[in-house]
Amino acid sequence: MNLQEYLQENRLITDGAMGTYYEEKYGEDGLLTELANLKYPERIAAIHREYLEAGARLIRTNTFAANTMFVDKMETVLDTVKAGYRIARQEADRFMKSHPGQQVYVAADLGPIYDMEYAGYEQVVEEYRRICDAFLDCGADLFVFETQNDFTYLKSVTDYIRQHTDAFILVQFAVDKSGYTRAGLSMKRVIEQAAMTEAIDAYGFNCGMDSTHLYQMLRAVTFPNEKFISALPNAGYPCVLRGRTIYANNADYFVEKMNLVAGLGVDIVGGCCGTTPTYIRALAESLREKKKNPKRVGVVEREQQKKSRSPLEEKLKSGEKAYIVELDPPFQLDTHKVEENARLLKTADVDLITLSDSPMARTRMDAGQLAVRLRQECQVEVMPHIACRDRNVIAMRGNLLGMHRNGIRHFLVVTGDPVSRADRERVKSVFDFNSVKFMEYIQEMNRDVFAEESVFYGGALNYQGINVDAIVKRMELKMEAGCSFFLTQPVYTTEDAERLRLLKERTGARLLCGIMPLVSYKNACFVQSVMPGIRVTDEIVARYREDMSREEAEEVAVALSLEMADQMYEFADGFYLMTPFNRAGLIKRIIEEIRSRHNRA
């Protein structure tokens, strides 16, 4: 009986964890579990037998980490894959021979491979294809993709399998206790996309959370079609003791919650990290007399509510120029100056005050918390930058929730400047996300957590670089991730203004063009020599003199800023002005001059 036919009438029990169970039994040898296929095949065979005797009727090959993320040579990867399938197949056949009438399915198991931060898309897809070819050569007719984060490679790889066979394909995703994958997809979005992906026969969730939280998540979603659903949670949440990952022995509790999961109409149930044959035996026995629920339970979704729009969003849609001004958070506790500047800029009718998030990896007051204070004390709309450098996914999500609760609805998402080489021994970057991935995460929160009042976010645009196509591609990725506008690096030359015009024409992006007044000869020289991604020519520097008074230098700064604003006004959606040395009065003057001369025209 093929698996499609089996699942029409029966609930399928899978095995539990291979990796954590192997480590529990043989962890002292320090060997990557998958490489035991080659070095200790008898150990892997024995574990498969334990799960089969416990009641599992689907076993997964010991190949989850058999890829070049963990194994140096591709030849070794392929040998490991073939050995893993052979061991599992032999044990399944042996069991069925000794247990007439029992059907056992063997799944070719694949874990995630590199994302595009480390290897190119084509390189990753090609590796997946070679691994799939190795399984197909062994006769695999069931594939399980586990602990996935997004759909980046899945369509290409599952379509490839479909071109060669009609194998059953199960795809499982790992979500955290917030209901999101590491790539920022919500459980709801995973279900919608997986259900509509033609090559996928079944989908579900493994790893990431325990049975209690997975049950709570599953009971709050609906499934759009009749594809089969799987649920393979962890035994619980681990602790690390003397360098080893330990899970509590709580099989009874796990089984109690998995019975609730099965009652939702889930078709395939089993375990992931920390689960052992003891868990699977108890689960199989508890479900033996319970028929599969033909109807899936799910809370009906609320009707889509009308979302409120940000005033900045409305202005950009209308074609009216927007003005955003950046202020620097202080290095110490005194916020008097930044509050004073915010109040002054409010009189210039700026649309947003934006606050940088420790640029150049130098610690300043937290931009989000300062944004809340300015909004409350100065009654101005504020947009903190969010850098991915310093916080993990837990902290970044927590910050978003806290800022949203305090009325902050605008964000600038940046990857963040790297920590300097001199500081790397004591300061560690996090980078759970880059800017694109975090935008995707916020996009999912807008569909779910912030459904009634979405946040509005933009990205930074470094328009310099030889490869315009690469810049365009990066912009398009951000726009697909919900990026609504771009703040550009400062512009000082006609050539750079034309580059921005070209990028605008090719992408249709909303651009708030950068203006950063150079307030002295020394300032101009510094920016020319030190600031990456900003081009200040010798001709611009020559417009300043070392012996200029402050007032004279500011006149040059205003003139240069207005010249660039004039060149960009036609195509710019607005202007992003960076305040030098707390000179908010200078910025106010430039904004008023731009408005005055163009309103006159």
DSSP state of 420: P
132 and 23 belong to one structural domain: yes
**Residue 475 scores a pLDDT above 90:** yes
Residue closest to 132 by CA, chosen among 191, 193, 187, 199 = 199
pLDDT-derived band at 301 (thresholds 50, 70, 90) equals very low
Q: What is the pLDDT of residue 215?
A: 94
Both 275 and 382 in one domain: the answer is no
Q: The domain spanning residue 64 has which CATH number?
A: 3.20.20.330
Q: Residue with structure tokens 């560690």?
A: 428
- Statement to judge: residues 57 and 105 lie in one domain: yes
At 456, list the tokens.
């509005």
Q: Mean per-residue pLDDT for 468-474?
A: 93
Are β-strands 382-387 and 352-355 bridged in parallel, bridged antiparallel, or unpaired?
parallel
Considering the domain architecture, whether residues 212 and 317 belong to the same structural domain is answered as no
Average pLDDT, the chain: 91
287, 322, 347 — which closes off a domain? 287
Tell me how crowded residue 163 is: count the other CB atoms within 10 A of its CB: 8
Locate the DSSP E strands across 395-496.
410-414, 456-461, 486-490
How high is the pLDDT of residue 303? 37
Task: Tell whether 514 and 555 lie within a shared domain.
Answer: yes
202 and 101 part of one domain? yes
Q: If you average pLDDT over residues 293-311, what whole number do you get?
A: 54
pLDDT of residue 307: 52
Domain boundary among 287, 322, 342: 287
The model's confidence at residue 448, banded by pLDDT at 50, 70 and 90, is: confident
Average pLDDT, integer, range 14-21: 96
Please count the structural domains in the chain: 2
Stretch (H or E) spanning 472: helix 468-480
**Residue 412 belongs to some domain of the structure:** yes
277 and 321 assigned to the same domain: no
Find tokens 């604003």 and name the residue: 565
Indicate if 273 and 128 belong to the same structural domain.
Answer: yes
Please indicate, yes or no, whether residues 256 and 361 belong to a single structural domain of this protein: no
**241 pLDDT tier (thresholds 50, 70, 90):** low
Q: Is residue 297 part of a domain?
A: no
pLDDT digit string, tens, across residues 374-432: 999 999 999 999 998 888 888 899 999 999 999 999 999 998 877 666 565 667 778 78
CA 436/CA 338 separation, integer angstroms: 30
Residues 6+ apart with CB under 8 A from 339: 373, 374, 377, 378
pLDDT of residue 29: 77
Is residue 315 scored above 80 in pLDDT? yes
CB contact at 8 A, 416 and 390: yes
263 and 341 together in one domain: no
Nearest one of 476, 480, 481 to 504, comparing CA atoms? 476
The answer to whether residue 472 sits within a structural domain is yes
Q: Is residue 50 part of a domain?
A: yes
296 occurs within a structural domain = no
CATH of the domain at 520: 3.20.20.220
pLDDT surpasses 90 at 297: no
pLDDT bucket at 465, cuts 50 / 70 / 90: confident
Say what the pLDDT of residue 228 is: 96
pLDDT band at 524, cuts 50/70/90? very high
> Measured between alpha carbons, how far is residue 60 from residues 89, 224, 323 in Å?
10, 27, 57
Report the pLDDT averaged over residues 144-163: 94
Tens digit of pLDDT for each residue in 160-214? 999 999 999 999 999 998 888 988 888 999 999 999 999 999 999 999 899 999 9
Q: Is residue 29 part of a domain?
A: yes
What pLDDT is recorded for position 444? 87
pLDDT score at 182? 85
Burial 578-590 (b: 16+ CB within 10 A, else e): bbbeebbebbbbb
Cβ(321)–Cβ(575) below 8 Å: yes
**pLDDT single digits (tens) 478-522:** 999 999 999 999 999 999 999 999 999 999 999 999 999 999 999
pLDDT at 240 over 70: no
Q: Scanning the structure block, which residue is given the tokens 């006004």?
A: 569
In this predicted structure, what is the pLDDT of residue 115?
63
Q: What is the mean pLDDT of residues 212-237?
A: 92
Q: Strand 12-13: give its sheet, edge to edge.
A: 12-13, 268-269, 228-234, 202-210, 168-173, 142-148, 105-110, 58-60
List, for residues 51-94, the tens digit of each pLDDT value: 999 999 999 999 999 999 999 899 999 999 999 999 999 999 99
| Assigned domain for 543 exists | yes
Within this chain, do residues 428 and 519 fall inside the same structural domain, yes or no? yes
pTM for the predicted model, two decimal places: 0.67
pLDDT greater at residue 30 or residue 119: 30
User: Residue 248 is which amino acid?
Assistant: A
Compute the average pLDDT of residues 280-300: 78
Domain that holds residue 536: 311-417+424-600
Residue 343 shares a structural domain with residue 266 = no
Q: What pLDDT does residue 601 have?
A: 41
Across the range 326-335, mean pLDDT stands at: 93
The answer to whether residue 300 sits within a structural domain is: no
Tracing tokens 């726009």 back to the chain, one arrives at 479
